[in-house]
Amino acid sequence: MTSPDPSPVDPALLAQMFTPDFVRDPYPVLDALRELVPAITEPVLGRTLLTRYGDVDTALKERSYSRDPHNAAADTLMARLRGSDEAPGTSILFMDPPDHTRLRGLVSKAFTPRAVEAIRPRIAEIANELLDAVEGQAEWDLIRAFAAPLPTVVIAEMLGVDPSRRAEFKAWSDELVKGLNPFISEEDAKLRDAAREALAAFFAAEIAKRRETPRDDLLSALVEAEDEGHRLTEAELIGTCTLLLVAGNVTTTDLIGNGMNALLRHRDQVALLAAEPDRIANAVEEMLRFDTPVVMTGRIVMADEVVGGCPVAKGHSLSPMLAAANHDPRLHHDPDRFDITRDDTDHVSFGGGIHYCLGAPLARAEAQEGIKVLLARFPHLDLAGEGERRLLPGFRGFVSLPVRA
Ligand code: HEM
């Protein structure tokens, strides 16, 4: 192999990815990287970054790549995720075919777009119930009052969790999300493991109840899902319920938080959406593109190869940078402009290929219904401060975003 040309990327630019400035606004660094090179190896987390839409899309769809952290070489990003999924073979997010195909097929039989459409009116009701609590207040926190609880309450209801257990359910889910941090402290890792165990015990008891007496809920549908004689095992059921909760919690909160932050900074577009609420579906696609909730996903290369001009070894991690791809001027006209009327809203915010987000229809329905209700109830809603961004690498959202009615 000939040695590659010296990289045009200044290591100081890569180092900026680990600063608070990057958490506040990753786009200047991502834009610079994308225009310099198609791929660049980043040594701190141990992965090769892909930033152009075409390369990201191709990598997401590449069937030879793995998602199973057990295939990751030591000191690579995907190897760091081993701890977040210690029971192998239970989370489709970290699984390869043929197991991924079998399990995703079974889950898809229960978690259907029809089930999502059926809950749409309830999403609007839940949104209204949450907003009742802030009615009359001059200023409140959009994340704490609305964007954070909405997805947890919705998935809890879909699964059939008793409302009296919601607070615990949310607390366990928040601990598990912290567990996705590749820089997790020992203390947080312990809390994450305790939360995972508590949630597993909770779901095991709920599953036992559904086996005895099926109900009209997603948990019963998962217990009963069958394909060519296969059913989900107990461990797979617990892993799937946990994944549905964790994968859909912080991500949808961030879609609503980031999306409203962008919208409220563009008063002309708030007015347009208020006047023409049917624009909500396109507005949510633009929110997903413009301020991407999941900044990156991961893949493991399974043979020595060259990706975007970068030599990578078997077991190495790739980071398709979804946020960078979504602002690629090769695909989007004037990509840094937020415009709910644009027709080039194509994005990779839900990943792609066989791991394409299974919850995309639910996330869309929650954001569409939630934001519609929010703007109808508070037509003069405006930002009341900058808000505070969450420090969780790979995810982008707010821990708080003050608004005034
Ligand atoms: C705005 C909200 C959401 C975003 C931005 C998002 C994003 C993603 C991304 C980037 C992936 C990885 C795809 C890949 O690597 O190609 C993924 C996978 C997944 N998501 Fe979501 N997600 C969201 C909401 C949800 C919800 C609400 C649920 C379920 C309740 C969910 C369930 C899943 C599952 C089960 C997977 C694994 C799919 C597989 O590996 O086959 N997500 N999501």
**Number of folded domains that form the chain:** 1
pLDDT, position 302: 98
φ, ψ for residue 185, nearest 5 deg: -80, 160
What secondary structure does DSSP assign to 116-150, as a single string? HHHHHHHHHHHHHHHHHTTTT-SEEEHIIIIITHH
Q: In this structure, is residue 1 part of a structural domain?
A: no
pLDDT average, residue stretch 360-373: 98
Ligand 1 pocket check: which of 350, 368, 396 to mutate, most ligand atoms within 8 Å of Cβ? 350
CA atoms within 13 A on the CB side of 42: 24
Q: In this structure, is residue 348 part of a structural domain?
A: yes
Is the pLDDT confidence value at 1 over 50?
Answer: no
Q: In this structure, is residue 2 part of a structural domain?
A: no
Q: In this structure, is residue 101 part of a structural domain?
A: yes
Q: In this structure, is residue 30 part of a structural domain?
A: yes
Q: In this structure, is residue 3 part of a structural domain?
A: no
Residue 251 sits in a domain whose CATH number is 1.10.630.10
For strand 317-320 and strand 47-50, is the pairing parallel, antiparallel, or unpaired? parallel
299, 65 in Cβ contact below 8 A? yes
Residue 280 lies in domain: 11-404
302, 314 in Cβ contact below 8 A? yes
Q: In this structure, is residue 5 part of a structural domain?
A: no
Output the average pLDDT for the chain: 92
pLDDT, position 2: 47
Q: In this structure, is residue 4 part of a structural domain?
A: no
pLDDT, position 83: 60
237, 270 in Cβ contact below 8 A? no
Characterise 364 by phi-psi region: left (phi > 0), alpha (psi -120 to 50), beta (else).
alpha
**Residue 388, beta-bridge partner list:** 400
In this structure, the residues whose C-beta lies within 6 A of any atom of ligand 1 are 60, 92-93, 104, 155, 243-244, 247-248, 251-252, 255, 293-294, 297, 349-353, 355-359, 362-363
pTM, to two decimals: 0.95
Is the pLDDT confidence value at 223 over 90?
Answer: yes
pLDDT, position 5: 55
Is the pLDDT confidence value at 320 over 50?
Answer: yes
Could you list the beta-strand ranges (E) of 135-290.
Answer: 139-141, 226-227, 230-231
